[in-house]
Amino acid sequence: MKKLVSVLLMASMTGLLLMSTGCGAKKQLVMATNAEFPPYEFHEGDAIVGIDAEIAQAIADEVGAELVIEDMAFDSVLAAVQTGKADMGIAGLTVTEDRLKNVDFSNPYATAAQVIIVLNDSDIATPDDLAGKTVGVQLGTTGDIYADDIEDATVERYNKGFEAVQALIQGKVDAVIIDNEPAKVFVEQNEGIKIIDEAFTYEEYAIAVKKGNTELLNKINDAIKKLQDSGKLQEIVDKYITAE
């Protein structure tokens, strides 16, 4: 009798094990990002949260997959998508002609700007004043690309936008070119720095997938449209960005 019970027990445990590992397992949807970009993606305790993380979760729900977030250097995000290490890049990614040669982009889900952060008493008041100055940027970002075109400027590249802001505060660079929303967060968190009125450029954020992956791209575009039409996208944005 005892033996029968244990055999039955083992059989049912094997069954449970099969259910939890085998056929029931959800497929994964891997998002590549750089979680140093508040309010779009940043660390909160052990979790990576933010606007992009919530959009990614909505896409995973749409696809019926489990979302896996891979945090990496910003300049590795597009490579991860290109090589198939990740299914999608969501990192406040600006759509550019050059990037479109290497990946496909979804419809845009946000508009943004590159802005200039300076010390409060700086003589830099417009983008033209950056000529001949030392400019801090995050490696591989559109800010980095534009800074390269400024006449006689020296460009200092950092792995994190926050490190460029630290360099500004320490007097190592004269200005930082960075996306407007992270800029607002960094200026709020640090004394003595400000964003100048005139933006450097205007751009659009979209989600990157491997070239030719139209199946996923269509699902992503569907999810973005649903988020927009239902007002959910605005809700997510309002949760992280307070209107001035």
AA identity, residue 22: G
Q: Which is nearer to ligand GLN, 37 or 200 (CB)?
A: 37
Contact call for residue 109 and ligand GLN (CB under 6 A): no
| Contact window for ligand GLN (CB under 6 A) among 54-62, 81-89, 134-142, 208-216 | 134-142
Is residue 147 within 8 Å of residue 153, measured between CB atoms? yes
Contact call for residue 106 and ligand GLN (CB under 6 A): no
| Contact window for ligand GLN (CB under 6 A) among 55-63, 89-97, 122-130, 188-196 | 89-97
Q: Which is nearer to ligand GLN, 182 or 219 (CB)?
A: 182
Q: Which is nearer to ligand GLN, 30 or 90 (CB)?
A: 90
2: which residues sit within 8 A by CB, 6+ positions away? none
Q: CA geometry: angle at 203 spanning 200 and 209, to 5°?
A: 140
Instruction: Pick from 34, 49, 109, 186 the residue near ligand GLN by CB under 6 A.
Output: 34
Q: What are the structure tokens assigned to 188, written together?
A: 């709020």
Q: Which is nearer to ligand GLN, 65 or 199 (CB)?
A: 199
List interacting residues with ligand GLN (CB under 6 A): 34, 37, 74, 91-94, 138, 141-142, 161, 179
